[in-house]
Every structure is written in C-alpha cells, then in structure tokens.
Amino acid sequence: MQSQDIRTYLQPGKHAHLVGIGGVSMRPLGLVLHGAGMKITGSDMNSSVSTEDLVGQGIPVLIGHRAENIAGADCIIRTAAAHNDNPEIAAARALGIPVFERAQAWGVIMQAYRNALCVAGTHGKTTTTSMLTQIFMEAALDPTVMIGGYLPLLGAGHRVGQGDTIIMESCEYCDSFLNFFPTIAVILNIDADHLDYFKDLNSIKASFRKFAELVPENGLVVANGDDENTRRAMNGIQRKVISFGMDAANNVYPANFSRGFSSFDVYCGGQLYTHLDLKIAGQHNTCNALAACAVAQYMHIPGDVAARALGAFTGAGRRMEFKGTINGADVYDDYAHHPSELHATLAAVKSMHYKRMICAFQPHTYSRTKALFDDFVWELQAVDIAVLAEIYAAREQNTIGISSRDIANRIDGAVYFETLPEVTAYLRSIARPGDVILTIGAGDIYTVANHLIR
C-alpha cells in the first residue's frame, strides 16, 4: 500500500486496529489517531504499563494475537515485528482488509505540519530527538513529538501539540523512515546495523541517501561531517546541507572545552551561537547537542533558549540513566546494543573515574550478535568485570545456535548467566563502594537495575 492510499482510512469515524499497540511507536500512534476522532482498537502479546494506559484513555486492548481481534476494522496498522504469519495479519489479508505499516501512518500524520523534523542515524536518535524536544518546548513552540524512549520532561515518549512542528525519531530498520515527509532531516551517523534486513553497509548508506532526498528542495539536511559514511552518503546531494561535528571545518562545531566534553561554546557558520553546560557526559552527547543546535539556529531559536533547554536536559530514559546506589555502588542503565554505542557509553563512564566498572550486557537479537561478535568482545574487554546475560531474541528465533556464553568465553574474567535473576544476584553480591554498575542492552536488562535498587 502507498501512503496516499492510507489517507482514506485515517479519517474520523474509521476503525483502525493496531497490532502490537503497546510498542514505543505504536502506543503514541494509537493515542494520536484516537484523539483525531478515529475508533482505535489494538492487541499485544503481553499486558504492560503501556497497554493499561491505553485502556485508561479509552482504547480497548486485547492481549494475545487472534484472528477474531480484528472484527469490524476498516484497516490494520502493524508494528515492524508483526509479520504476515501473525494471526491478525493473516486474517486481514484473507478478508481483503488493508494492512499498513506504522511508519506509513506517521508519514501521513506529519504531512499536516509545516515543519517535520526527522532525526535519523544508527546511534543517538532518541537522545537528539529528546534534546530537540527540550529546546522547542523551552521556546514555547508547542511541538508534537514521537520519541523511541521516555523523556522526563514529557513524562512519556510522545506529546500531541498545537504548534506547526512535529519532531520524529526516524528509524532506518526495514527502510521505515522512507515513508516519512521530512522538511528537515538530521543524520547523526551511519554504521553497519540491522544486517538481518540490509545486505551490507553500502545498502544502509543508500537507504540514508534516499531518506535525505525526501527533503524538499527548500528544506534542510543536517549531517555529521565527521562521520565518513555520512559524508559519502550525502556526497553531491542536491539539498541544502549543514554539517556538524567536532572538527572546526564543519558549519556547526564546538570550541573552548572545559569539564571534559560537557561545557563548551557552539559556533554556527563561524559565529558564536551559544555556550552549553551539559549534564550528560561523553563526546557522543556533545555531537548530539551540536546537531540539535544546528536545527535550532536554522529555525531562528535564540542561543540562550537552546542553552537553558540543554542545560536542564538530564537524558532520555535508558540513556545513561542513573538508577540509584547499592552497597555504595552507583547503578546506571543504558540502551546501547551496537558496538559503537557500547564504545561511546563505556568511554563516557571511564571519564567519570570510578574504581571499578562492572558491565552487565544483554546482546539484542541473534543476527546482530553474530554479525558483530568480534566487536562486542573487543568493547567488553575494556571493563573490569563483564557480566553476560543471554541474548534477547526480540523478533528472531535462534537458528544460528549462538549464545552470550560464546562472548563470555572470549573475555578474561567474564561471567555468563542464563537468567536475569541470576545476573541480579551476582551483581548484588559483588557491589562495593567506588564501583559503577552498568546494565546495558535494548531488551529487558533494565529490570536488573530496577531490582538492584529495590
């Protein structure tokens, strides 16, 4: 189905059934469509805080996927994890009920806004989308927002505003961001990931190129000028491009650092835009802030507004999120699930000068673990104690025959546990003052941090 077809179904009074409605992108989609006067129902594999919230706001949610759940629906909108063998998808196809992807629905929604800010990149999307949200909220521009995580300022990962701007985290998996209509496309970086879908790095770069070319000729591409893959993907593109990065050759760059990478001046086009004092550590977050400032300056938001907003930003949920202490050890939780993200997080923590760095890592998907196995081993060798939890399957079956134990076997002193309660018990037993304990991964490893603090 093409995006123009879905418009006839996203109308007040129409009934859309959302498969996987509890997901971070599906839940706000359901709420936005519900608020627009549509009849929304949904289903999910498990009951959760998200599904309970939907029910509380008047959206019926069925637990478990069954053909009868789609009764009366005019169309189906599915999460990327719901394939054609899902009972509800199969039933819809048999009945001739159109099935759309969630990205197609968001694409239609964003066309109602004058400014569509789409933040893409292999790493840093959630943090940068959150930073932009913080800036636009501080500027009282009342944006509509969709973040693939939790932002404390919003008390959620989304909001429905009345302004003329929508800020969207935009994921490349399954080329989903190619359904969007950005007026400003932010490309933070391009790396080898999602190799269960993309053939290789060149196909990933080609996808990002297509995404940037969705920007109209009077729009803007904000691109990482320090990242070779991004530079090559954007080479010769017929759009206005603003580059950002640590190198002063970029259009937007930092200078006059103090306190590591957290305090610095931001220059745009050779002119001082603002001075930032960030509460979040790491050079990667400096780059995320530069990307956000590039957009803000282009949108004529004063530098002092950006400085106030980013100075108050304490991070998105699960992005180096401080959880508390146990036995004198500080506990942080992070969403990193790619070696480059792992490297950035561990480098940021190293600058905090703890006596011991203990990392409990849960790899995400079997295909990613296999494709990037040696890189994971290399990064985890940098910690004092590596604790490996079993791989989080997500949308996959373990047809590869791979385990986190294989990673642990390659790292001196590493330990492996099959279950998360075992990980929790082990971390509790070794925690001592001067330690930092990191729970890292995109699956349910965050529950370990929660149980430790409880």
Residues with catalytic function: 125-126, 169
**Pick from 448, 397, 405, 443: nearest CA to 423:** 448
Report the run of H or E that residue 35 belongs to, with start and end: helix 26-35
What strand order describes the sheet that includes 61-63? 61-63, 39-44, 15-19, 75-78, 99-101
74 to 11, 95, 103: CA distances (angstroms): 11, 11, 18
Structure tokens at 371: 């494709």
Alpha helices in 96-138 (DSSP H): 102-110, 125-138
- CA nearest 45: which of 101, 87, 94, 96? 87
Residue 206's SS3 state is helix
* The residue to which tokens 């969709």 are assigned: 146
Alpha helices by DSSP H, listed for 214-326, are 228-234, 283-298, 303-312
Strand arrangement of the beta sheet that strand 435-440 belongs to: 321-326, 329-334, 435-440, 356-361, 385-389, 415-417
Q: Does residue 386 contact residue 377 with C-beta atoms inside 8 Å?
A: no
DSSP state letters, 185-203 = EEE----S--TTTSSSHHH
